[in-house]
Amino acid sequence: MNLTNWFAFMVAAWVIAISPGSGAVLSMSHGLNYGVKRASVTILGLQAGLLLILAIAGAGVGSLLIASAFAFNVIKVVGACYLIYLGWSQWRSEAGPAINAETGQAAHIPSVKRRFMTGFLTNTTNPKGIIFMVAVLPQFISQQEALLPQLLILAITMCTVDLIVMHSYAAAASAMQRLLRDPSWQRRQNQVFGGLLMAIGAALLFVRRTPATAAVS
């Protein structure tokens, strides 16, 4: 892979990572509720999901997947329902996570496995991510070079950028913890992040295949 292609992909990766989406909302929510250290597990789950999507796109399976109207709609509905479920669960939380007066940390924190899987499923059930990878990834891959080394470089670049951005979102939200420990503020915070997740989930229901991919089917 030449330096020009790599640099162009890195710029694209920054734009994608910074753009508000379900991953950013989830990172901020967990950063605010559980702190950056615990949110890191969620962010690692997001990266695992990102790697899976990249592998699917790189293998060419993604093109076949979104070319099928049925398969695309299944992914879209599952992804939308999952985000709406996450949002509703957070929205209906009475006062956010209880804060331990001695440690200053949330008393009720989801397990490491649950936080990781929440991040993983948030990315893997996002049809917009699959569409992007299938549409954009081939533009940065040279047909004259071995595929696997190029995919590894792109994967490392994408995940490194996303890790930095998602941790930045989580850190910014975590910095507000001390200001938002009052139960009324925690309630409002849960409604804001819950509402955003539900809105993103609802928006996914309106995502359509591009004309090019639809024509394949």
What would the pLDDT profile of 79-135 be if each residue is shown by its tens digit? 788 778 878 877 876 554 444 444 445 557 889 999 999 999 998 887 767 777 777
Looking at the domain assignment, is residue 139 inside a domain?
yes
186: Cβ–Cβ under 8 A, 6 or more apart, which residues? 95, 96, 97, 180
pLDDT digits (tens, 9 = 90+) for 198-215: 887 787 777 666 544 443
Q: 18 by DSSP, 3-state: which?
A: helix
The DSSP call for residue 99 is: B
Q: Give domain status of residue 11, yes or no.
A: no
Structural domain includes residue 2 = no
The Cα–Cα gap between 115 and 99 comes to 18
Tally the domains of the chain: 1
Residue 142: Cβ within 10 Å count: 11
180 pLDDT band, cuts 50/70/90, is low
Residues of the domain holding 42: 22-210
Q: How far is 85 from 97, CA to CA, in rounded Å?
A: 18
Assess if residue 99 is contained within a domain: yes
With respect to residue 53, please indicate whether it lies within any of the assigned structural domains: yes
Asked if the structure places residue 14 within a domain, the reply is no
Q: Is residue 156 part of a domain?
A: yes
Category of 135 on φ-ψ map: left (φ > 0), alpha (ψ -120 to 50) or beta: alpha
What pTM did the predictor assign?
0.74
Q: Is residue 137 part of a domain?
A: yes
Q: What percent of the chain has pLDDT over 70?
A: 79
Q: How far apart are CA 129 and CA 134, in angstroms?
A: 9
Residue 96 pLDDT? 47
